[in-house]
A and B are shown apart, each in its own frame.
Chain A
Amino acid sequence: EAGVAQSPRYKIIEKRQSVAFWCNPISGHATLYWYQQILGQGPKLLIQFQNNGVVDDSQLPKDRFSAERLKGVDSTLKIQPAKLEDSAVYLCASSLVGFKNEQFFGPGTRLTVL
């Protein structure tokens, strides 16, 4: 079974630039999560989708972050404009419906904002 795919794996940008990350979840997983993991910390949930609807975006900085999952499969997370403090690993995870189902994580995208 293919795992969660993310791209790019690494991205370096300057502050005030824009960046987008892509995630392809495991086939059949209706729930998709985006997490931000700052170095030395645990992952922090940014947004949770079920199919193409948003379940929880309470911790998403909506003035600069946006995410979509238009067809209920792939998802993109965008930052515009980026700030230095956005430097982190952005993890995508997916699971079957029901939050106590195991979440499968992708390898993450490491973002460095200079």
Chain B
Amino acid sequence: GENVGLHLPTLSVQEGDNSIINCAYSNSASDYFIWYKQESGKGPQFIIDIRSNMDKRQGQRVTVLLNKTVKHLSLQIAATQPGDSAVYFCAEPKSDNYGQNFVFGPGTRLSVLP
């Protein structure tokens, strides 16, 4: 079955530093990945996605890197701000024959220290 997991369940960074959140996936056939941010008391919010034909994709202050050789994703947040404090999830498509939807990893909690 799918195994979308994270190396670090919690991450604390100083405000202004860069953050790196990691994610391992097990399905080598996955062709699309998403990162979500979930703030306390809210539903997950889309941050950025990447297709498997890319190694890197940049957004505003965020970069996602994909290493298909080792089945690893990372989310980099530049100049981390207090508003970045949240739980971050990576997600990949389900690999079964049911409907088209996603499997979420367990998440990493990012705490930004003043």
A contacts, CB < 8 Å to B: 4, 33, 40-45, 48, 50, 55-56, 58, 91, 93, 98-100, 102-108
Contact = CB atoms under 8 A, between A and B. Distances in A.
Contacts of A40: 106-107
Nearest to A58: B98
Given A55-B101, A56-B98, A58-B96, 11 more contacts: A42-B89, A42-B107, A43-B44, A45-B101, A45-B102, A48-B99, A56-B101, A91-B43, A99-B102, A106-B43, A107-B41
Interface of B: 4, 32, 41-46, 49, 89, 91, 93-94, 96, 98-107
A93 to B, nearest CB: 7
Contacts, number: 59
A62 to B, nearest CB: 14
- Those 10 A-B pairs whose CB atoms lie nearest each other, nearest first: A105-B43, A56-B99, A42-B104, A55-B99, A99-B100, A56-B98, A48-B99, A102-B46, A58-B98, A43-B104
19 contacts: A40-B106, A42-B4, A44-B104, A45-B94, A45-B103, A55-B98, A55-B99, A55-B101, A58-B98, A91-B44, A93-B43, A99-B93, A99-B99, A100-B49, A102-B46, A103-B102, A105-B44, A107-B42, A108-B42
B27 to A, nearest CB: 15
A33 B94 CA distance: 14
Contacts of B45: 105
Contacts of A43: 44, 89, 104
A42 to B, nearest CB: 3
A56 B94 CA distance: 11
A100 B106 contact: no
A84 to B, nearest CB: 21
Nearest to A48: B99
